[in-house]
Structure 1
Amino acid sequence: MARNQNSLLLLSLLLLLASSPVSLAWPVMGIAGFTTSRYSEQSCTEKAPTITMFAGVSDELYGNGEICGAKYSVTCIGAVDGRPPSPCRTSNPVVVTVTDSCSPEAAKPCPTFVLSAKAFALIANPRAGKALITYDR
């Protein structure tokens, strides 16, 4: 009888974790740049003109557009070259909506995220141009 109760408890816990919106994934490192466009011109979401916290993403992350409209939490962690001073303004993340693949303004190869100027300025000094970041969904 105790074995059945333990099995039910374990099954309940697994179901709870599977349905939980909490991500158990670790943040991934990448590089963020920014665009001065007011909104994403190659938008994959109908709401792009009203979104100010948007991002284009690298082709590897974008895939075939499967992540259109996905929200990512992006945190500045330092300078791309690792040398001081850090461009980071805060260790708090900014949440952005993916609206397209890499911006045409971005230098090739494209950074992992091309944030809107507003989103980038919240986490890093725009004078740096780029920042080392972590991101997760």
Structure 2
Amino acid sequence: MCRRHTQLLLCLFITFFINLPFPSFADVGTAAQYSPPYLPTGCYGGEALQFPSSNLFAAAGDGIWDNGAACGRQYLVRCISAEQPRTCIPQQIIQIKIVDYAVSTVSTPSATGTTMVLSQKAFQTIANSSAGLINIEFQQV
């Protein structure tokens, strides 16, 4: 009996992981977007030179801010769902850098209380720009 049960569990486990379209990330949250001007007052005191040349960056929400320790952290991020169908761009995973605290951003985010507020370019790389809020998976790298 135990052997059959173990084989069934192993079979289900393998079937589940083989059929996953993406790697599983550690955390799930929400993301909004904000637009220029980008003035990173929360991390770098207005030093625009700290932005990555790719313009793939974000402001950290309260959940990952960690009293400023999030500054400079890199995350892999992908859109997993949104209120509007076909908002997420399939199979798009980006790497962003935290450059600010979401509460202190100069430009108002498209939705408040999010895990991350992505730069316009970062948001539009993983989701339709008309969306105000998306659900994301993210993992620190």
TM-score after normalising by structure 2: 0.68
Equivalenced residues, count: 110
Counterpart of 1:29 in 2: which secondary structure?
strand
Counterpart position of 2:50: 48
Cα distance change of structure 1 residues 59 and 95 upon mapping to structure 2, 3 Å threshold: same
Contact 2:89 2:128 in 1 (8 A): yes
Q: Residue by residue, what CA displacement relative to the aligned partner does 1:10-52 show, whole Å, maximum 9, x if unpaired?
A: xxxxxxxxxxxxxxx9421111111112534325145335541
2:36 maps to amino acid: S
Contact 2:111-2:132 within 8 A present in 1 as well: no
The yes-or-no answer on 1:62 pairing with 2:61 is: no
Task: Tell me the residue number matched to 2:120.
Answer: 117
Contact 1:35 1:117 in 2 (8 A): yes
In the alignment, the residues of structure 1 paired with residue 70 and residue 92 of structure 2 have an alpha-carbon distance, to the nearest angstrom, of 23
Matched-pair contact (CA < 8 Å) for 1:88–1:124: yes
Flag the 1:26–1:125 CA change in 2: closer, same or farther, 3 A. closer
Q: Relative to structure 1, is the Cα distance of residues 39 and 50 closer, same or farther in structure 2, using a 3 angstrom cutoff?
A: farther
**1:28-86 residue CA offsets vs partner (Å, 9 max, x unmatched):** 1111111112534325145335541110011221021112101001100111x4xx513
Match of 2:8 in 1: none
Contact 1:40–1:54 (8 Å) recurs in 2: no
| Structure 2 Cα separation of the partners of residues 115 and 63 of structure 1 | 18
* Equivalent-residue separation in structure 2 for 1:87 and 1:108 (angstroms): 16
Deviations 1:74-121 (A, max 9, x none): 100111x4xx51310122211100011113513674211100000000
Provide the residue aligned with 1:20 in structure 2: none
> 1 CA distance for matches of 2:65 and 2:135?
19
Residue 73 (structure 2) pairs with residue 74 (structure 1): no
CA RMSD of aligned residues (A): 2.2
Q: Does 1:28 align with 2:30?
A: no
Identity between Structure 1 and Structure 2 (%): 30
Q: Which residue of 2 aligns with 1:19?
A: none
